[in-house]
Structure 1
Amino acid sequence: MPSTTKTFRHDDALLPTLLATGYALSGYLVGGYWMLIDGWYFNLPGVLWFAHSMVIAAYLIHEAAHQSVFRKKQANRWYGELLLWITGSSYSDFNDIVHKHNRHHSDRADIVSFDFRPILEKHPFFLKTLQILEWAYIPALEILMHTLVIILPFVKTNRRQRRLRVLSVLVVRLALFAWLASISIHFLWLYALAYLLFLTVMRFMDVHQHTYEVYETLDSPRGPEARLRDRDFEEHNTYSNLLSVKYPWINLLVLNFCYHNVHHHQQLQPWYRLPKLHKQMYGDDEQQVLTFRHLIKSFHKYRIPRILNGDPIDLPVKHDEGESFIGVDGVSFLTAH
């Protein structure tokens, strides 16, 4: 089909893209509708499907940020902008997300406009509040990171061009929530629950994928120190945090985002090719592979220390399969700051 090959980046992309996008949209609409209906037998599956639709939408945004969905840059942008509304991250501009994520790959580091850790250490009451919430499994730090996307344009002069977007999105979303609450007031807390589940899944996938340093250079040109981190450094400080090695289809729950080493090695390859490419590249070599049953222990054990943690590079996380790997918070590609 000539029209398809001209539209999509890859000639086998039509069906996978339709399936993934259709799942995200239907989960958002149908799951949201079920959250409006009285009765837990609708609300429970509604919350779960709604949350998972946001997860899939987020990883499709990641695909679009790499220009691996459509051939044209503008098509990837509009696709990403649509999906940002589904994830509740529409306060961020898609181009800002692309810029931040490209710097993550090119600099081989976690690039931010500021590091919140020293700031939190200077405000013990605020830090203690975050620690209590994180102890209760509320992803408070992730909520803070998403809130800062709204706040920073009114604080940092180099973000002031985003003020109109933030205010416009805020007005639209508040109007939508008011309308939905008028239909069913319990939709509000069900949405909040779904969003917390979404943030928890996204965080779990992020915190153990790298032993990278954090640099406050997002608002600056790429520095000379980035050239010191070569491809070998990238490979040995990147981990594939698979949900399942034995049953690869389970990794589709996060759109194969967990095949992280092969993604870093071949960034234009689409999500549906990653398991096969991983097998071709690494075979039975699991030196850079960490699995769910080990990482869930670390995720639980270090949920409070992780707030202030910054991993040292070349951390030997494989000595206990990642169970003492603390990981790093606040590095989501959805929070473009």
Structure 2
Amino acid sequence: MTAKPLYRYADGRLPNTLAILYTALAYGGGLALLFAGNGWLNALGTLLLAHGMIIAAYLIHEFAHGAIFSVPKHNEWAGNVCSWLCGSCYAEFQDLRKKHMRHHVDRADVITFDSKAFLKARPLWLQKLVLALEWAYVPAVELIMHFYVIALPFITDNDKHRARRGKVAAVLAIRTLLFVGLAVLSPKAVLLYAVAWMIMLGVLRFADAYQHTYEAFAVLEDGGKLPEDKRRDRSYEQQNTYSNVVSERWPALNLLLLNFSFHNAHHEKPVAPWYRLPKLHAELYGSTYNQVIPMRKLLGSFHRYRVRRVLDDDYGVVSEGPNKADNFYGAVGVSFLTAV
């Protein structure tokens, strides 16, 4: 029996090896720089650590699609490692994968935790606190969702989730001990680590906010069915998907997000690996595709609607012309790092 090659695609040996190596070096090197006695090195370390986490997060997405390794179990193992780096390890990798696959198959944002409904049902003071934090660019909704993933096995009657209590408690205990140890060595380092993680959350949610105008459906469990009130076909998928590229002028900058911004190409061919997406995008859409919105055109909307999008069920409107994203509010709470 012939052994399978390590990587799924032969042309993935170099780019995938470099991406994985960069993630390890950025995470380890950034963490080491947090202990430096120089403020500039601390700042560099914080940014490097944050970017290592960002690439790790997008690698999780690649592993979920089975686009890196040829053996599914290897993708799962690597996905679990990257989940530890990103702080999303309280959820099972397979649960993250299943949630994301529903996003592709159903062409919708399928969630089991509706953050907007949750907040609307909370006391007014809590709503105001969350909105105040979001106004100050603190990703409060993302923090709530990550906390919910940890709390879910302990607050639900669902046997599947309750069965994970021991594992979640063990992961929480291990990570708590690691961070306590880090704090003992350097309180500054643990604070900067938290800053790096918050930067990661902020970058991911900025990218996530403007890639779809899909409807969001809260279902009780993984297999919950969606209403058949409209035809969610491939045309619908492309019309409600946007490629919020980091830069059109300097395409290499899209590597900062592992080419995740070529989102229409990704949805047209989900098994295409990250390093092929720029070429695939050019082949499919050319240089004048209306679904492309450079990130610099989204910064204003992200700022203006940072509070409104928290509770508003409307994504806003994407129009035509150079300022087509001016009334695009964006989505919130749709991270692929939370399996809820």
Pick the TM interval, shorter chain: over 0.9
Give the secondary structure class of the aligned counterpart of 1:209.
coil
Matched, 1:208 2:210: yes
Aligned to 2:93: 94
The whole-number CA distance in structure 2 between the counterparts of 1:165 and 1:317 is 47
Query: Partners of 1:225 and 1:73 in 2: how far apart?
Result: 32
Paired position in structure 2 for 1:128: 128
Pair 1:110–1:193, CA change in 2 (3 A): same
Partner of 1:150: 150
The residue type equivalent to 2:119 in the other structure is: L
Residue segments in structure 1 that go unaligned for 5+ positions in a row? none
Greater share of helix:
1
1:137 aligns with 2:137: yes
Instruction: Output aligned runs, 1:303-314, within 5 Å.
Output: 303-311=306-314
Are 1:213 and 1:310, in contact at CA under 8 Å, matched by a contact in 2?
Answer: no
**1:213·1:311 contact (CA, 8 Å) conserved in 2?**
no
Partner SS for 2:128:
helix
**Residues 298, 273 of structure 1: CA spacing in aligned structure 2 closer, same or farther, 3 A cutoff?**
same
Measured after TM superposition, the shift of residue 19 of structure 1 is 0.7
Within 1, Cα distance between the matches of 2:320 and 2:77? 40
1:41 aligns with 2:43: no
1:167 equivalent to 2:195? Answer no
- Check whether the contact 1:211–1:311 (CA below 8 A) recurs between aligned residues: no
Partner in structure 2 of residue 52 of structure 1: 51
Q: Is the 8 A contact 2:120 2:127 kept in 1?
A: yes
Give the alignment's Cα RMSD to 1 decimal: 1.7
Select 2:197's aligned residue among 191, 195, 198: 195
Structure-2-length-normalised TM-score:
0.94
Count how many residue pairs are aligned between Structure 1 and Structure 2.
334
Q: Deviations over 1:64-83 (max 9, x none)?
A: 00011112111110010011
Residue 151 of structure 2 aligns to a residue whose secondary structure is: helix
Q: Unpaired runs of 5+ in structure 2?
A: none
Map 1:231-242 to 2 at 5 A. 231-242=234-245
What percentage of residue pairs aligned between the two structures are identical?
A: 43
| 2:133 match: secondary structure | helix
The answer for the alignment partner of 2:270 in structure 1 is 267
Bigger CA drift: 285-294 or 100-109? 285-294
| Cα offset, 1:273, TM superposition | 0.5
- Comparing 60-69 and 111-120, the one that deviates more: 111-120
Call closer, same or farther: CA 1:234–1:222 in 2, change over 3 Å. Answer: farther
User: 1:309–1:328: 8 Å Cα contact kept in structure 2?
Assistant: no
In the alignment, the residues of structure 2 paired with residue 181 and residue 217 of structure 1 have an alpha-carbon distance, to the nearest angstrom, of: 40
